[in-house]
Chain A
Amino acid sequence: MHHFKTLAASTAIVLCASGALAQDSITVAIQLEPPNLDPTGGAAQAIDSVLYANVFEGLTRFDADGAIIRGLAQSWDISDDGLVYTFNLAAGVTFHDGTTMDAEDVKFSLDRARAEDSTNAQKGLFAGITDVTVIDPLTVQVTLDQPNGSFLFNMAWGDAVIVAPESIENIASNPIGTGPFTFTDWVQGDRLELTRNPDYWGPAPALESATFRFISDPTAAFAAVMAEDVDAFVGFPAPENLPQFEADPRFQVLVGNTEGETILSTNNKMPPFDDIRVRKALAHAIDRQAIIDGAMFGYGTPIGTHFAPHNPDYVDLLANSQHDPDLARSLLAEAGFADGFTTTLKLPPPSYARRGGEIIASQLRAVGIETEITNLEWAQWIEEVFTNKDFGLSIVSHTEPMDIGIYANPDYYFQYDNPEFQALMETLNATTDPAMRSNLLAQAQAIISEDYVNGYLFELAVATVAKAGLQGLWVNQPTAAVDLTGVSWSN
């Protein structure tokens, strides 16, 4: 017994000591593990969550509020016709393998991303580029085929980061970028480790090392945070547990915006959803607040179109689709479905989809639409719904920033084909004047809202649960990222 006490006491001392020393490292949990580590080749958001701003940097970047700020490009000049961008690169930047980052690497990265055989998940970002020219080692000139008001925004995406020809071959398993942290280890299925880059060109981060852990199960996530196994959980998956963390002085809860428009995806090519009256009936059958309360425990902002409510250009179009089951029933009757119909509702794993699906199924049943719910894993969802378009309805959150342009692509999985909208998007892309862009964006939002392309539910909120002493974590998620550059422990 005496020995046990001594042991316990010495363990306590060791724990305190390690606690004091651990102030320059952090363990961050996120829900999904990246399938590979190449942000320029993979579509998975988790790749950016781990690597964006930490390991890889682009010409420009998003800051915590979603504004576009300088990245590797320290300044830029735009020609009067809006076609030529001249970027002045930061001096003295090296990749983690010691090679220098210069204009040649920028040209390599952009040419690789826009190449015919490129596997970049967001090739559209680079579509307008006609030429990339190296002026001198620190100056690079990008020429566009037409003015593009969102070019600097496009260059801030994780898919547009700068990579080097020397290290590109093994990028998927050994990512080498220019960021403040270097990649050290990845134990698949468990964790990924980053270490401070001593040769970083910018201000050194406060943290010496960081470990990412991947915990997908909400119950395990709750346990890991409660037991203080992790210092922070970005994108905490169980909103019902947040009040408990808020009440606990050991933790802080940050609830912020994402760019995630959560929608009831509707297969616009599949009867009866090719009839606008049926889609309008869907929209009026849905009670958004019940979904936000029931699936997200109140976290989330209702949306009436595919646009983020915190964006200054957002137009409130909720009035187009107020909850009105009687109107929904009469619209269905008008479309020839007085007795309702049966369709599929295919749900990916997140709780907004699984719980939201049950709520929507019940709301649709109330107007006569029966749904057959199928729960899918992400890989199955990507295959069945996103790729093969074999679905009637689905629920998913579109987390890419400013992604209203997906409605201009008739092959996108919900298959909305409206030439008027496509023309509007082309005009928008060619417009640089801010006032005119706002106006065009407002029109675009109105068109898809009045066409009831999808059921617009809510803007996904993101919750970060962190230990009380941790500061500098992003509250909002303007892009999928866990930016550790500004994170530190207060004492």
Chain B
Amino acid sequence: MNRNLIIGTALTVLFIALAALSFLWTPADIETLDIPNRLQTPNATNWLGTDHFGRDILSMIMMGARTSIAVALLAVGIGMALGIPLGLLAAARHGSFLDELIMRGNDLVFAFPSLVIAILITAVFGASAVNAIIAIGIFNIPVFARLTRGAALPLWERDFILTARVCGKSATRISIEHILPNITNLMIVQGTIQFSLGILAEAALSYIGLGAQPPTASWGRMLADAQTLVSIAPHVALVPGFAILLMVLGLNLMGDGLRDWLDPRIRIART
């Protein structure tokens, strides 16, 4: 059995479950501040303690998980929705001017460090969760476009594609009906990895104040708020820090595990 996959999936499911649960119930209301009750260490009422405004940290983590997952999921969605068709198109028109245009466009976006683009976009268009999604989404596009093209190109040389072409199927239909199903595994694995990068990027953006704005809870902002409190109430910083760590670790383990599990060559080698 694949240990990575189990641990990774367990961690990921845990956080997704926490985020889902937050729609129905949180241990405490985080919109009402309770300042006299601030900076409590973990106890029976507040399992993970309270922050500098007396809010329950566990509830904040649950609401923050919601923000993180929503932003990362939508950003990866944008990357896939635009990147995969572009990659399929470039592969289908291999060597054409269009192929060049798409791939050099990709290089252009790749040339900038991804977080710098995200900061640029949110700084220009204003800090909000929506702009963070767009910013992270944009640097996901070339990742998927390039991977798709790379995976699709060798497929175009295969006999079954040749058969399809001889039968008169258009390049678009071949891409959708024959290429896409054959690269799905790869996309799922890459999607998981990009999802974890999206979580990190969201945390980074909100840490510097360019992500979701208060009162929306966000792990990155929890960290930023806790910065000056580290020496008096370390748990306020440690909890969101570990949340980010565990979520990203979970997704990466799951991505690795999925790759091993989905890749027929590795699976066969193992048996």
Kindly identify which residue among B33, B126, B228, B231 contacts A359, using a CB–CB cutoff of 8 Å: B33
Q: Does B24 contact A (CB under 8 A)?
A: no
B246 to chain A, nearest CB (A): 24
C-alpha gap A358/B53 in the complex (Å): 9
Q: Is the CB of A293 within 8 A of B213?
A: no
Q: How large is the interface on B (under 10, 10 to 19, 20 to 34, 35 or more residues)?
A: 20 to 34
Q: Does A442 contact B (CB under 8 A)?
A: no
Q: Does A443 contact B (CB under 8 A)?
A: no
Q: Is the CB of A241 within 8 A of B231?
A: yes
- Per-position binary interface string of chain B over residues 197-228, scored 1 when its CB falls under 8 Å from any chain A CB and 0 otherwise: 00000000000010001110000000000011
**With contacts A355-B52, A375-B209 known, is A361 near B35, CB below 8 A?**
no
Q: Does A366 contact B (CB under 8 A)?
A: yes
- Per-position binary interface string of chain A over residues 214-248, scored 1 when its CB falls under 8 Å from any chain B CB and 0 otherwise: 00001100100000000000000010110110000
Q: Does A32 contact B (CB under 8 A)?
A: no
- Does more than half of chain A's interface fall in helix, strand or loop, or is it mixed? helix
Q: Is the CB of A373 within 8 A of B214?
A: yes
B206 to chain A, nearest CB (A): 11
Among A294, A366, A372, A374, the one with the most B-chain Cβ atoms within 10 Å of its Cβ is A294
Q: Is the CB of A244 within 8 A of B231?
A: yes
**Quick one: which of B2-48 are within 8 Å of A by CB?**
31-33, 35-36, 38
**Residues of B with C-beta under 8 A to A375:** 127, 209, 213
Q: Is the CB of B214 within 8 A of A358?
A: yes
Q: Is the CB of B33 within 8 A of A238?
A: no
Q: Does B124 contact A (CB under 8 A)?
A: no
Q: Is the CB of A362 within 8 A of B231?
A: no
Q: Is the CB of A293 within 8 A of B231?
A: no
Q: Does B232 contact A (CB under 8 A)?
A: yes
- Per-position binary interface string of chain A over residues 352-382, scored 1 when its CB falls under 8 Å from any chain B CB and 0 otherwise: 0001011101100110000011110000000
Among B53, B213, B214, B232, the one with the most A-chain Cβ atoms within 10 Å of its Cβ is B214
Q: Does B239 contact A (CB under 8 A)?
A: no
C-alpha gap A359/B55 in the complex (Å): 11
B29 to chain A, nearest CB (A): 10
- Does more than half of chain B's interface fall in helix, strand or loop, or is it mixed? loop
C-alpha gap A362/B30 in the complex (Å): 10
**Residues of B with C-beta under 8 A to A366:** 32
Q: Does B243 contact A (CB under 8 A)?
A: no
A106 to chain B, nearest CB (A): 46
Q: Is the CB of B232 within 8 A of A241?
A: yes
**Residues of A with C-beta under 8 A to B180:** none
Q: Is the CB of B229 within 8 A of A362?
A: no
A303 to chain B, nearest CB (A): 19
Q: Is the CB of A359 within 8 A of B35?
A: yes
**Residues of A with C-beta under 8 A to B38:** 294
**With contacts A294-B38, A294-B52 known, is A222 near B214, CB below 8 A?**
no
C-alpha gap A403/B197 in the complex (Å): 50
**Residues of B with C-beta under 8 A to A244:** 231-232
**With contacts A240-B52, A294-B52, A359-B33 known, is A219 near B214, CB below 8 A?**
no
Q: Does A290 contact B (CB under 8 A)?
A: yes
**Residues of B with C-beta under 8 A to A238:** 228
**Residues of A with C-beta under 8 A to B35:** 290, 293-294, 359
**Residues of A with C-beta under 8 A to B36:** 293
CB-nearest residue of chain B relative to A219? B227
**Residues of A with C-beta under 8 A to B209:** 375
**Residues of B with C-beta under 8 A to A374:** 126-127, 213
**Residues of A with C-beta under 8 A to B126:** 374
Q: Is the CB of B228 within 8 A of A240?
A: yes
Kindly identify which residue among A222, A240, A294, A373 contacts B213, using a CB–CB cutoff of 8 Å: A373
Q: Footprint of B on A, CB under 8 Å?
A: 218-219, 222, 238, 240-241, 243-244, 290, 293-294, 355, 357-359, 361-362, 365-366, 372-375
Beyond known contacts A294-B38, A359-B53: 7 more, CB 8 A cutoff? A222-B231, A240-B229, A243-B232, A244-B232, A290-B35, A293-B35, A374-B127
- The 18 sampled A-B contact pairs (Cβ below 8 Å) are A219-B227, A222-B228, A238-B228, A240-B229, A240-B232, A243-B232, A293-B36, A294-B35, A294-B54, A355-B52, A357-B214, A359-B35, A361-B215, A362-B31, A362-B33, A373-B215, A374-B127, A375-B213
